[in-house]
């Protein structure tokens, strides 16, 4: 207990010359651990950036002073933004530590966008230098603010936040995505990036990358990720790369993806160009100043032997928990070696440049079923078989065919094979095996495909995908779901399927992901042909009484479907119960292998059913309901994944009717 004397003066008599007797009141307060600055400072260090910027720094002056240097300001700049939107972003660039920029598809407009980006970065850098020159004056003011807090918490606070940095930071994290095929462009902005610690380059066309100039301009660089879909040119003799890596003391993550090896690209400068994996391996082993925590090096049309990859994993990054491979390099041998490693793999990234020729699953599903410690999986062009997720065979339900694009084919099949029994297939199919164990997954970028003629376009397909992910990976922060291009059987043309986004398709099932911050569904642009009512629940205006009532009417029309669905579920349950003991044991071990928690098994009971969607919509039927409390970016059927706010994304999808629905 501690006592403090507080002088109280009547507010109205502050200016009165008459002397009044002083009044004293004694208050008692109980000290708590949160009153100790060192403890609260340590506790707040575990809080994520979103909560810090939106909640913590607004609590009180002390918490603001302690955490303002931890808040990372980030901006997203899409070249397709309107001029007004671009000006708003440019005005917020000063003090931004993380910037993601994406170019458009028009070549002429892209040139103008790059000029604007270059001028903005140069101006931002010069302004930051000027602010640093005035730092001493601002620091005096900060010390006065600190002394006010010290009066209450003592001089220990001075040891915790002795020198308070500015709220605004230099640009430290930069992502560039798009058609940046001119090496001079990247060179033109390097002078404005001396404080950069992370750089990610994702180019679509063949691009030239002068890494030596970049490392000289960005001496603090810690993470470098460069890739190109068509191929990345790395000029210079092969030994120069080895020399550059040894001269970058801070670099601990290096990813060079899809390099070109054609010698004519470098003529007449370097005629003899060859990538020698063995020499690079020896160079990386000799690094004296740093140890790479993550490393990837791949050459177009060149496969690294399994033994070399295994040597890299054991010699170069022996303690690494983050791995990056090309999809075709992830052979069964390498997959087995991943399983032999201590199960501390927290991040796995599989790269493959071609979307139309999506790599089939090479044990990835089985790996997910045996990797409880995995936190990040990025494989947007690696497709997992849909049937592995449909553990209850909901697609075989009779009503599912009504929504299939190829339901006519199924009808002909039932006529030509009248004795076929779909229910028996439900019990005897052996393709289903296991449920993912990575329940703590934070990042999931994955594609899905299926066998047969039916594309993943029916509501049943969508309900299974959305329901499975929302139940098995409830901690997701970053989610990408893609459907690869599909070659039709009859015309051999490419079809671009997209998931069903109506209410019956179960998109709302993803609202169970309460920590979701970014969402990208589909890469192919598609015109929305359904009513915006099916999606406007994403924003606050969609929770009005009017729209809730309209959604109730839609759900009321599902009664017949729910009845038919319940009958089929009961019939299937009876068939399983009447099966032999061996069949029951087989079903439990094969279909739900790895499900050790009764709660998860119960949650997956309604997977793929319309009933599952109805239960979520019933929860949403409240004026106070808000979905995705921390969601910042959404991209639906778009060729880039930077995304917009939910309201802005809905306005993009439904432009004629957006003004009244989403604001």
State both tokens at 226. 């460069």
pLDDT at 509 (0 to 100):
96
DSSP 368: H
- Residue with more model confidence, 348 or 395: 348
How much of the chain exceeds pLDDT 90, in percent? 17
Beta bridge partners of 99: 75, 174
Q: Is residue 204 exposed (0-12), middle (13-18) or buried (19+ Cβ within 10 Å)? A: middle
Phi and psi (nearest 5°) for 618? -65, -40
Alpha-carbon distance 513 to 247, whole Å? 44
Strands (DSSP E) contained in 243-321 are: 253-259, 294-299
**pLDDT given for residue 492 in this prediction:** 55
Strand partners, 29: 2
Residue with the bigger pLDDT between 208 and 412: it is: 208
- 71 neighbors 167 (Cβ within 8 angstroms): yes
Own/partner long-range contacts of 541-549 (Cβ < 8 Å, ≥24 apart): 541/661, 541/662, 541/663, 542/661, 542/662, 543/620, 543/622, 543/623, 543/625, 543/626, 544/623, 545/623, 548/621, 548/623
Identify the CA nearest to 60 among candidates 145, 128, 122, 131: 145
Q: What confidence category does residue 552 fall into, taking pLDDT thresholds of 50, 70 and 90?
A: very high
How much is the pLDDT for 115?
Answer: 83
pLDDT at 427 > cutoff 60: no
Region label for 178, one of left (φ > 0), alpha (ψ between -120 and 50) or beta (otherwise)? left
Predicted confidence band of residue 398 (pLDDT cuts 50, 70, 90): low
Q: Give burial (CB, 10 Å; 0-12/13-18/19+) of 468.
A: buried
Which pLDDT score is estimated for 3?
42
Q: Please give the average per-residue pLDDT across 432-459, as a whole number.
A: 82
Output 134 or 288, whichever has higher pLDDT.
134
Backbone phi, psi, residue 492, to 5°: 65, 15
User: Residue 138: pLDDT above 60?
Assistant: yes
When pLDDT is cut at 50, 70 and 90, the band that residue 84 belongs to is confident
Write the DSSP assignment of 481-522 as a string of letters. EE---EE-TTT--EE------SGGGTGGGGGG-TT--EEEE-
- Measured CA to CA in angstroms, residue 186 lies from 121, 178, 220, 496 at distances of 12, 12, 17, 34
* 606-619: average pLDDT: 92
CB atoms within 10 A of CB 536: 24
Q: pLDDT at residue 511 above 90?
A: yes
Instruction: Name, of 130-139, 223-232, 349-358, the range with top average pLDDT.
Output: 223-232
CA dihedral 407, 412, 415, 421 (to 10 degrees): -50
| pLDDT value of position 310 | 78
* End-to-end C-alpha distance for the chain, whole angstroms: 52
Which pLDDT value is given to residue 186?
A: 82
What pLDDT does residue 425 have? 34
Question: Do residues 124 and 93 touch, judged by C-beta distance below 8 A?
Answer: yes
What number of other Cβ atoms are within 10 A of residue 328's Cβ? Answer: 13
So what's the pLDDT on residue 477?
95
Quote the pLDDT of residue 412. 30
- What pLDDT was estimated at residue 436? 92
> Which residue ranges form the domains of the chain, and what is each CATH number?
173-318 (3.80.10), 388-406+424-661 (no CATH)
Residue 405 has pLDDT above 50, yes or no: no
Tell me if 453 sits within 8 A of 421, measured CB to CB: no
Please tell me which of 30-34, 73-77, 292-296, 444-448 the model is most confident about, judged by mean pLDDT: 444-448
pLDDT at 145: 61
| pLDDT value of position 578 | 65
Q: What is the pLDDT of residues 246-267, one digit of tens each?
A: 677 788 888 888 888 755 444 4
DSSP 8-state symbol, 327: G
Q: What span, in angstroms and rounded, lies between the C-alpha atoms of 330 and 306?
A: 9
More confident residue, 186 or 286: 186
Give the pLDDT confidence score for residue 393 in this predicted structure: 83
Average pLDDT of the residues in 567-582: 69
Residue whose structure tokens are 């001496």: 219
**pLDDT tens-digit map of 333-366:** 777 777 777 657 889 998 887 765 555 566 788 8
Kindly tell me if the per-residue pLDDT of 181 is higher than 80: no
**pLDDT tops 80 at residue 479:** yes
pLDDT of residue 494: 62
Predicted local distance difference test score (pLDDT) of residue 395: 81
Cis omega (within 30 of 0) for bond into 147: no
Average pLDDT over residues 49-64: 83
- Count the Cβ atoms, other than its own, within 10 Å of residue 633: 20
Interior CA angle at 221 toward 219 and 225, to 5°? 140
Distance CA(190)–CA(173), nearest Å, equals: 13
Between 146 and 512, the higher pLDDT residue: 512
Three-state SS at 572: helix
Q: Which residue has the higher pLDDT, 568 or 314?
A: 568
pLDDT surpasses 90 at 214: no
Average pLDDT, the chain: 75
Residue 662 has pLDDT above 80, yes or no: no
The pLDDT confidence band at residue 486, using thresholds 50, 70 and 90, is: low
Please report the beta strands in 30-94, taking only residues with DSSP state E, as ranges in sequence order: 74-78
Top mean pLDDT of 141-155, 224-238, 502-516 is at 502-516
Confidence of residue 158 (pLDDT cuts 50, 70, 90): very low
Per-residue pLDDT, 22: 61
What is the share, in percent, of the chain residues with pLDDT greater than 70?
70
Tokens of 321: 């928990």
User: Which segment of 301-310, 398-407, 641-650, 652-661 scores lowest on mean pLDDT?
Assistant: 398-407
| Count, residues in the chain | 663
d(CA 539, CA 543): 7
């Amino acid at each position: 207990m501690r006592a403090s004397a507080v002088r109280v003066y009547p507010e109205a008599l502050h200016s009165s010359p008459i002397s009044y007797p002083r009044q004293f009141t004694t208050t008692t307060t109980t000290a708590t651990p949160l009153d100790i600055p060192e403890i609260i400072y340590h506790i707040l260090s575990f809080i994520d950036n979103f909560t810090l910027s939106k909640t913590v720094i607004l609590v009180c002056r002390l918490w603001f002073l302690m955490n303002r240097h931890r808040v990372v300001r980030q901006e997203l700049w899409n070249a397709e933004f309107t001029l007004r939107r671009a000006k708003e972003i440019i005005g917020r660039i000063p003090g931004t530590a993380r910037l993601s920029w994406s170019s458009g598809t028009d070549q002429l407009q892209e040139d103008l966008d790059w000029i604007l980006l270059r001028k903005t970065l140069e101006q931002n850098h010069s302004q930051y230098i000027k602010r640093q020159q005035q730092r001493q004056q601002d620091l005096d003011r900060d010390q006065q603010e600190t002394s006010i807090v010290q009066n209450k918490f003592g001089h220990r606070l001075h040891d915790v936040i002795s020198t308070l940095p500015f709220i605004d930071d230099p640009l430290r994290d930069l992502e560039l995505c798009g058609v940046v095929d001119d090496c001079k462009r990247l060179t033109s902005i390097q002078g404005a990036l001396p404080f950069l610690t992370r750089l990610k380059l994702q180019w679509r066309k063949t691009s030239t990358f002068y890494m030596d100039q970049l490392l000289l301009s960005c001496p603090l660089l810690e993470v470098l990720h460069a890739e190109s879909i068509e191929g990345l040119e790395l000029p210079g003799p092969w030994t120069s790369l080895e020399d550059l890596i040894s001269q970058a003391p801070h670099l601990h993550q290096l990813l060079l993806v899809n390099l070109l090896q054609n010698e004519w690209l470098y003529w007449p400068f370097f005629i003899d160009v060859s990538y020698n994996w063995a020499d690079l391996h020896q160079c990386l082993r000799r690094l004296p100043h740093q140890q790479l925590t993550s490393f990837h090096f791949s050459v177009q049309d060149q496969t690294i032997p399994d033994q070399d990859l295994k040597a890299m994993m054991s010699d170069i990054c022996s303690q690494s928990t983050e791995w990056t491979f090309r999809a075709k390099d992830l052979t069964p041998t390498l997959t087995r070696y991943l399983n032999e490693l201590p199960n501390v793999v927290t991040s796995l990234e599989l790269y493959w440049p071609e979307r139309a020729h999506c790599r089939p699953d090479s044990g990835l599903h089985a790996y997910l079923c045996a990797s409880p410690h995995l936190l990040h999986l990025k494989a947007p062009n690696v497709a997992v078989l849909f049937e592995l997720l449909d553990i209850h065979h909901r697609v075989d339900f009779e009503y599912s065919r009504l929504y299939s694009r190829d339901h006519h084919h199924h009808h002909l099949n039932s006529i030509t094979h009248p004795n076929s029994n779909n229910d028996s297939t439900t019990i005897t199919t052996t393709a289903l095996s296991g449920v993912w164990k990575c329940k703590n997954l934070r990042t999931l970028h994955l594609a899905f495909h299926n066998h047969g003629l039916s594309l993943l376009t029916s509501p049943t397909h969508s309900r299974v995908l959305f329901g499975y992910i929302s139940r098995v990976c409830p901690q997701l922060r970053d989610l990408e779901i893609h459907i690869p291009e599909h070659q039709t059987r009859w015309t051999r043309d490419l079809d671009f399927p997209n998931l069903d986004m109506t209410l019956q398709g179960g998109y709302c099932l993803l609202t169970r992901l309460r920590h979701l911050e970014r969402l990208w569904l589909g890469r192919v642009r598609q015109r929305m042909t359904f009513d915006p009512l099916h999606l406007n629940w994403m924003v606050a205006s969609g929770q009005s009484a009017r729209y809730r009532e309209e959604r109730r009417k839609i759900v009321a029309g599902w009664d017949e479907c729910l009845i038919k669905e319940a009958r089929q579920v009961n019939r299937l349950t009876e068939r399983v119960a009447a099966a032999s003991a061996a069949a029951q044991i087989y079903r439990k071990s094969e279909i739900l292998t790895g499900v050790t928690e009764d709660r998860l098994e119960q949650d997956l009971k309604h997977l793929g059913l319309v009933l599952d969607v109805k239960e979520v919509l019933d929860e949403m039927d409240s004026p106070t309901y808000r979905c995705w409390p921390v969601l910042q970016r959404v991209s639906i059927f778009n060729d880039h994944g930077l995304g917009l706010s939910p309201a802005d994304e809905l306005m993009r999808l439904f432009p004629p009717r957006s003004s009244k629905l989403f604001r």
